[in-house]
Structure 1
């Protein structure tokens, strides 16, 4: 897996991702403390609103950012967005009103909504070999999981010697370091062959996404994964602190189980994907995680839940979650031309976060109104609906090459040059506005 680090450009990009994630992790801890400082017992409401603002920014801003990204130099765009994030982080310690937090969070997350899809779309252009790219996806997954485990520990250590306001300085330093690492790399910046209007550029990614069967399947898998992870992220603290009456450290242990399972999958995926098709791996991971959540609901209804049982369940859910979503970059890469990849990655970013925007509050509401058994069963049911949709829309034989005709083109058109019958992998574009039926 580590062999891809011999690529200097990718090495710098991975380092940029790691330092930015570390800064974001520090900001997460500091934001909770800032909310309590400003709102006291209403801090939960403030954080919940901030999370909603984050998701709204992700859903609305990402397509707009992708529309302008194709006209900008990729490296300059990423650096500028990192600088914006660094400046916002520096402003957060000086807020005195809750509305100011909301405004700054929207600006911060809007910059992230522009940065993240463009950054993700750059990696397959740097690592053009699919095996190398698969290793990079696993390393990226490991970076996310390690951040979720280590950032709270780092924040706790820093809080022994500095106030929570200083954590925002660490966040800003992380974004500046990310910008410097991006500056040090030479990045590709593919441009479209023909100029496009603002409507075309804004909606292009989502139109390509929704017309591609494998990506419609990916959206359904994202729904299932969001349903399961929402149960873990939103309700673990309620189960551990409320139902089990255990300490805060027990919450960390349970969440570490989810992260640990995800990391195990990240280590296993490169070899699995060498031998097994993406569809089977992703569908198997989602099915395993969904089945585990359903079993958890049965156990919660029949026997007393313990921390050990909950952690074991979360390990399996985390393994299935990572197996479901980590290969998604491979699907996005092979479903778009290089100049369209930022738009398609932005579409995945937007649509997957729209799933979380719906399922986060659903998971919390079910837990509040009906308890853990119904919440687990409800989120497992939501995940099953996604699995059914995957099976219906993503063909089992996702052909690499499709025989088709172009009656609208003259016989001497360059696209028709080559062996007959005319066949190639289909990517949605001007010549292929839909997946053609084989003649």
Structure 2
């Protein structure tokens, strides 16, 4: 592939994959660390830690995207990787719950600055428009693969070692990512149409607010977060306490959700060539709503079976893929080419804002009032997001050109087969 013939992109993409898997392993290990320190209240600890993470992403990511041009980007990326490696190395040494919150705040502040910086670098290295589209798709595919493989790798590793060793591997991964970035040639920042930092930080969000399909996407972000929080926050306590499973079993149950995500993601390119993205994504929202209701039924009826839980978790994974996988295509077709980085940065912040709402619900309510009530609240949020997406995203919101995404300001409906097949 011509894209991977670009040396600098190849190095940066490799660094991204390593960092993604490091982040995934940290998430699994963090849940087990919370359980080790807090036992039955692990959901509260994990929910709070992940809330801190989302606050950092929502607040820092837009500011980083606005101000990153003032610093040497290669040096900044390397420094952020080193910071992440040091923080992760310190996590297994904590003895108090509040230590987790402080370290997670530092870790996610670095990650929140790293992501928009990395995204801003790619279009300067991959200058061909078609290659840039492929680069965005490759990054999305890497994130999908990480969702599946990180829990699997964690489950296998936990069969032979304690969870604190996962932090050591993650720290080494961040250092390797820094070493891969060092030899890359990253050019200076290109001038932006938005000269003020505030304009840079808010340009993408303003685009979301004025574009019907992107307003629908914001509602779909809530659906993903509501269902995903059940898996991310509550799996540890549910598997360890209700199912009586081991540390490794936690990883395998998370892998069940990731497996559903991967299966759906592999099937979607052909589906998106025939069915409108709106239909696929709203179907995903319905699947996620159904998955959360099924989780409520499992808890309410006390049907704590391995098979039933794995099926529900896999259904949630499938629904998440139906929404997340077409998102990049939606963003690219809804904005002008020079606005693509801003749109992706806005989606990064807005999607994490949804998780900022649902993580505390899953963690704090799950510990204090039980999983049945908590999952009922999350199911209601998923249903509200699904309804909102159907109302905010009209069936026909523009015209589509026959050869590619629309280049005018009015958004296109993304129903053209050739365009979607090419983008996928």
TM-score, L = length of structure 1 = 0.77
Deviates more, 1:136-145 or 1:332-341: 332-341
Q: 1:72 to 1:391 in 2, by over 3 A?
A: farther
* C-alpha RMSD of matched pairs (Å): 3.7
- 1:148 pairs with 141, 151, 167, which one? 151
The equivalent residue for 1:234 is 233
Aligned length: 403
> Does the 8 A contact of 1:399 with 1:425 survive in 2?
no
Q: 1:271 to 1:167 in 2, by over 3 A?
A: same
1:201-257 alpha-carbon deviations (Å, 9 max, x no partner): 232232222222222111111100100111222223344444444555544433221
> Does the 8 A contact of 1:122 with 1:187 survive in 2?
yes
SS of structure 2 residue aligned to 1:426: coil
CA distance in 1 between partners of 2:330 and 2:230 (Å): 26
CA distance in 2 between partners of 1:221 and 1:277 (Å): 16
Q: 1:282 to 1:300 in 2, by over 3 A?
A: same
Structure 2 spans left out of the alignment, 5+ residues? 412-424
Q: 1:401 to 1:70 in 2, by over 3 A?
A: farther
1:349-371 alpha-carbon deviations (Å, 9 max, x no partner): 22212211211222345544554
Q: Does 1:359 align with 2:393?
A: no
SS of structure 1 residue aligned to 2:255: helix
Q: 1:239 to 1:36 in 2, by over 3 A?
A: closer
SS of structure 1 residue aligned to 2:395: coil
Q: 1:188 to 1:107 in 2, by over 3 A?
A: same
Structure 1 spans left out of the alignment, 5+ residues? 403-422, 429-439
> Does the 8 A contact of 1:66 with 1:342 survive in 2?
no
CA distance in 2 between partners of 1:241 and 1:91 (Å): 25
The equivalent residue for 2:173 is 174
When Rg is computed on C-alpha atoms for both structures, the one with the higher figure is 1
Q: 1:335 to 1:78 in 2, by over 3 A?
A: farther
> Does the 8 A contact of 1:230 with 1:360 survive in 2?
yes
The equivalent residue for 1:271 is 270
Shift of 1:424: 4.8
CA distance in 2 between partners of 1:121 and 1:248 (Å): 38
Q: Does 1:24 align with 2:7?
A: no
TM-score, L = length of structure 2 = 0.79
The equivalent residue for 1:57 is 56
The equivalent residue for 1:435 is none
CA distance in 2 between partners of 1:299 and 1:173 (Å): 39
| 1:110-121 alignment, distance < 5 Å | 110-120=109-119
Deviates more, 1:78-87 or 1:299-308: 299-308
> Does the 8 A contact of 1:89 with 1:171 survive in 2?
yes
Deviates more, 1:86-95 or 1:249-258: 86-95
CA distance in 2 between partners of 1:365 and 1:98 (Å): 15
Deviates more, 1:346-355 or 1:21-30: 21-30
The equivalent residue for 1:407 is none
Shift of 1:394: 1.6
Shift of 1:277: 2.7
Q: 1:298 to 1:58 in 2, by over 3 A?
A: same
Q: 1:180 to 1:61 in 2, by over 3 A?
A: same
CA distance in 1 between partners of 2:303 and 2:82 (Å): 50
Q: Does 1:104 align with 2:103?
A: yes
CA distance in 2 between partners of 1:42 and 1:381 (Å): 24
> Does the 8 A contact of 2:194 with 2:200 survive in 1?
no
Q: 1:364 to 1:387 in 2, by over 3 A?
A: same
> Does the 8 A contact of 2:28 with 2:151 survive in 1?
no
CA distance in 2 between partners of 1:366 and 1:102 (Å): 19
Q: 1:132 to 1:248 in 2, by over 3 A?
A: closer
Q: Does 1:297 align with 2:296?
A: yes
CA distance in 2 between partners of 1:94 and 1:242 (Å): 25
CA distance in 2 between partners of 1:243 and 1:96 (Å): 26
SS of structure 1 residue aligned to 2:195: coil
Q: 1:226 to 1:43 in 2, by over 3 A?
A: closer
The equivalent residue for 1:225 is 224
